[in-house]
Structure 1
Amino acid sequence: MPAETAPVAIVTGGARGIGLATALDLSRKGYRIALADLDGPDLAAAVGRVGEGTLALPGDVGAFAAVQEQAATVLARFGRIDVLVNNAGISQPKTLVEISEDEYDRTIAVNLKGCFNWCKAVAPAMLEAGRGRIVNVSSVSANTGGARSAVSKFAYCTAKAGILGMTRALAKELAPAVSVNAVCPGSIETALTSGLIAANREAITGTIPLGRIGTPEDVAVVIAFLATVEPNYLTGEIIDVDGGQWIN
């Protein structure tokens, strides 16, 4: 496929962890990539890893007007948007008693409103083209609540649960042109969670039927499946990627 006609994927929170693993996977599948993340050395390094032609979108996913401008930049550069992966998120370890209003608002702004901002920004182009895939990254904590030892507590869980409602609703609103699905990672070892996991590896592993902690690549392969599988007859689905840790 000529480079100028290759499909285009936007990955938010793409500078590290699950986002970067997803961008690398989609790039290997022939997608042109736009990486949205906070400006800094991690974003620059990620663009270098994903490869020539990767578009950096530095900024805050919680800023509505900025996201609108970034989506316009992607369209101006590539002429199309085929896939949106809403992966950007921040942790929030404070409990209800400890957290301030500003800290709660910021958690919701990045983890939930950021997802809305990007869906709002790309949906018109996808609908006009008659095609599109949106994959939202939630968390098993949306269904289980945060454990006492978890990196994030109730505010994070609240935002991630909101993503599941948004996913199901948008799957109906944007059908049949655009599919909208979500993944819920479980215990995944990233820069954010590595300290906690290192201190509790044996105990955590003992709760996972597949017998190991997950990697960003374990999640990325599922996101890439939802973003690229043909034919596609999935929308509004929530897939846990947790090694069976939270089998219902």
Structure 2
Amino acid sequence: MRPTERWASPRVALVTGGARGIGRMCALRLAEKDFSIALVDLLVPEMEQVRQEIERLGGRAICLKADVADHARAKEVVGEVQARLGRVDFLLNDAGRPMPKGILEITEDEFDRTIAINLKSCFNYIQPTAKLMLAAGEGRIVCMSSLNAYSGGVTAAVSRFAYAAAKAGILGMVRALAKELGPQIHINAICPGLIATEVPKNDVIVARGAEIAENGIALKRIGSTDDVAQLVTFLATSDPCFITGQAFVVDGFQFQM
């Protein structure tokens, strides 16, 4: 589709980090619920593959390349989504990046980048999207946090202190914005535990996944991307909805870190 063309859709979802993993599965499930999807990622070939999957399902999708840490680019992206798809009804802030270095190893630039991708990116996309939603009188937002916001993630290589701090910051942001943006906008956070993706996010899943599933997770398995996507879809579509400012843990009750 050419940039000047425009689709009329009953609902539009903007998904950051939509090229793979949880973001990809959420985009597919939302497409099944008749959302047109705007995918945002730096992984262009993977993002195009997701677009093709959505089209095979009979849905509509566009791909927008962006570094989610770039505030100016986020504003451009939201403007382009509005121009091409007409609106934004649901925003999923899923983009994120691990940071395995500890306090004695990490550089200032690495710390700043971790916060920018995992936390500031949520601000970058919520600010312009919230303007559209408030003007429309309604909207839904979900931000992907992590179980490590609570645990600190000390045993998982991908989730040392900087990553955990960023993901914990999302919870504070969501609680505050639920008060600021309600009643028109519902905003919630999801905190996944160990989730298996096509590109495993940490060494725990690879090296200790079976052991943790057997001895440290009540449901005796590692989570799937669809486990998270089902909750995202519910929060995007539930009507009526009396849920906002909440953090939902999706971990099969992981009692051993």
- TM interval, shorter chain, is over 0.9
Give the Cα–Cα distance (whole angstroms) in 2 for the partners of residues 235 and 98 of structure 1.
38
Letter in 2 for 1:77: R
Residue 209 of structure 2 corresponds to 201
Tell me if structure 1 keeps the 8 A contact 2:156–2:203.
no
Give the Cα–Cα distance (whole angstroms) in 2 for the partners of residues 39 and 212 of structure 1.
29
Give the Cα–Cα distance (whole angstroms) in 2 for the partners of residues 39 and 149 of structure 1.
25
Residue 77 of structure 1 corresponds to 84
Tell me if structure 2 keeps the 8 A contact 1:20–1:46.
yes
The Cα of 1:194 is off from its aligned counterpart by: 6.6
CA deviation string 1:55-109 (max 9, x = no partner): 1111101000000000000000111110000000001000010000111011011
Output the TM-score relative to the length of structure 2: 0.92
Letter in 2 for 1:236: G
Give the Cα–Cα distance (whole angstroms) in 2 for the partners of residues 230 and 222 of structure 1.
14
Give the Cα–Cα distance (whole angstroms) in 2 for the partners of residues 222 and 56 of structure 1.
24
Output the TM-score relative to the length of structure 1: 0.95
Give the Cα–Cα distance (whole angstroms) in 2 for the partners of residues 117 and 135 of structure 1.
14
Q: Does 1:172 find its partner at 2:184? A: no
Residue 15 of structure 2 corresponds to 11
Q: Does 1:239 find its partner at 2:248? A: yes
Q: How many residues are paired up?
A: 245
Tell me if structure 1 keeps the 8 A contact 2:94–2:143.
yes
Residue 94 of structure 1 corresponds to 101
Q: For the aligned residues, what is the CA RMSD? A: 1.4
Tell me if structure 2 keeps the 8 A contact 1:39–1:59.
no
User: Aligned match of 1:212 in 209, 218, 221?
Assistant: 221
Letter in 2 for 1:107: T
Give the Cα–Cα distance (whole angstroms) in 2 for the partners of residues 103 and 194 of structure 1.
18
Q: Does 1:57 find its partner at 2:59? A: no
Q: Does 1:124 find its partner at 2:131? A: yes
Structure 2 residue runs without a partner (length 5+) = 1-6
Give the Cα–Cα distance (whole angstroms) in 1 for the partners of residues 246 and 209 of structure 2.
30
User: Aligned match of 2:190 in 178, 183, 186?
Assistant: 183
